[in-house]
Structure 1
Amino acid sequence: MNERGLDVMRTSGYTHSRQAKLAREPARRIVVHPTEGRKQMALECINPRDLPTPQTYTQVVVATGTRLVFVAGQEPEDVHGKLVGRGDFAAQARQVFGNLGRALAAAGAVPRHVAKITIYVVDYRRDEHLPIIEAARVSLFGDHKPADTLVGVVALSPDYLIEVDAVAVVDG
């Protein structure tokens, strides 16, 4: 266990001293998700020691499973295709992550199966937007931290401020 209570497995191909090895090895966390009547699906979450350790995502995710699920960019729309939260970034962020959860469920996947997300934000300003994104993201993913990319964009559909897509791995 590390200081954050995560199970960490360290592996190495180095032949130097143990201390030198630990300095170079990535931190690895194997997350195994049992599925009813199916094989187990695993995500190996790796934060290499020579890269910053992010608090909200994982630098590298190695997925083993038999079925890839690609979720199209989820927009801040209700079931009728109407924009939710015009001008309200927090409302739109909650909506896109909620829509992402519903899209995953439709494919037989759950948030912990997600290996990678991409977040698109209009006129991205880190200090303003990141705390709101993280709150919406935690509401879907809890402590699961898929790899992610956050991209600032000039525009999405008119009045749309955020969009999120995902790749999940499920045995099946």
Structure 2
Amino acid sequence: MTTQRLTRVPAPVVPGISDSVIDTATGLVYVSGVYVPVPEDFARSTELTFRALEEALVRAGTDLSHLVRVNVYVKHLDEEKLQTYRRVRDSIISAEHMPASTLVGVHSLYNHATIEIDAIAVL
């Protein structure tokens, strides 16, 4: 007999995609790539994407202070976008709760997004 370890977190998302999954054995929450396409304003898109990530974490029973890992994908990453990303991130996530992270420049993202974030948090 197997015990179910993964719990899907209900959310309004793209059909066929799990927005978030909780590993009940470890207490880890895995959040799929979150994005909010506002291609004309990278700072606003970054802020809204972090807020969407925060909403996903709250639905799972945790918050941004419990992030342990984020992977960030930025369309056409350059120095200006890097500085904008850091400024917005630092206004949302406190330095004392800064997760391990990777920032990757990419050619394109789904649905014309300019930034996408996937994450791991603890309950």
Scaled to the shorter chain, the TM-score interval is 0.7 to 0.9
The number of residue pairs the alignment matches comes to: 98
C-alpha separation between the residues in 1 aligned to 2:60 and 2:111? 29
Are positions 1:71 and 2:31 aligned together? yes
Corresponding residue of 1:167: 120
Two-structure CA RMSD over aligned residues (Å): 1.6
Among the aligned pairs, what percent are the same residue? 37
TM-score (norm 2): 0.73
C-alpha separation between the residues in 2 aligned to 1:102 and 1:135? 20
Are positions 1:94 and 2:54 aligned together? no
**Unmatched runs of 5 consecutive residues or more in structure 2:** 1-24
Residue 145 of structure 1 and its aligned partner are, at CA, apart by 1.2
Which of 63, 76, 80 is the equivalent residue of 1:123? Answer: 76
**Unmatched runs of 5 consecutive residues or more in structure 1:** 1-64, 77-82
The correspondence of residues 21-170 of structure 1 with structure 2, limited to 5 A, is: 66-76=26-36, 83=37, 85-125=38-78, 127-143=79-95, 144-170=97-123
Q: Is the 8 A contact 1:94 1:136 kept in 2?
A: yes
Structure holding more helix per residue: 2
Q: Is the 8 A contact 1:87 1:159 kept in 2?
A: no
TM-score (norm 1): 0.53
- The amino acid that maps onto 1:107 is A
Residue 158 of structure 1 and its aligned partner are, at CA, apart by 4.1
